[in-house]
Amino acid sequence: MGKLLPTLSEGKRAALFNLSYVMLPPNLSKDAPDYAAQVALAITQTNGIAVDGSVGVFPNVSRLNHGCSSAFNAVYSWREKERKLVVYAIRPIKEGQEILTAYFDTRRPRQERRLVQKCVSPSMGQDR
């Protein structure tokens, strides 16, 4: 990760470091020489999307939140030929409405998806 950071443009670097993250080593000092690389790694672990046998971070797609099967209104797909990640609306999305996606492979059978991601409907208290 430390080798990749210097190759990013200022804009891409700013977009990367503007993302949320978890899993930062608890005793890491902001003065540590590898602090930026550790934060970038935590951002990648939190926001990374598997593409073409690797992992990519797509800042705009990282802004999408998770929605259970009855709530998500968009899916994303890697287009190898164009080498880009595309977001598709699967139902109408009104202006100002939050765009929600699934944080798991929606093409898997329902039982497999339940093992990966438990979704509970607050109104019904049931798995989705």
- Tell me the pLDDT tens digit for each residue of 81-108: 999 999 999 999 999 999 998 776 555 6
**Structural domain tally of the chain?**
2
Same-domain status, 51 and 73: no
Of 39, 58, 77, which residue sits at a domain end? 58
Report the C-alpha gap between 75 and 83 in whole angstroms: 17
Rounded mean pLDDT, 45-70 = 86
pLDDT at residue 125 greater than cutoff 50: no
Whole-number pLDDT of residue 121: 43
Q: Which domain holds residue 108?
A: 64-128
Averaged over 35-63, what is the pLDDT? Answer: 90
Alpha carbon 81 to its chain's center: 21
| Residues 65 and 98: beta-carbon distance below 8 Å | yes
Last residue of a domain, one of 22, 37, 58: 58
User: 0.75 cut: is pTM over it?
Assistant: no
Three-state DSSP at 123 gives coil
Q: Do 69 and 128 belong together in one domain?
A: yes
The position carrying tokens 């080498």 is 83
Is 48 found in the same domain as 70? no
Cβ–Cβ < 8 Å for 128, 120 = yes
* Residue 102 identity: A
Query: Of 37, 58, 79, which residue is a domain's last?
Result: 58
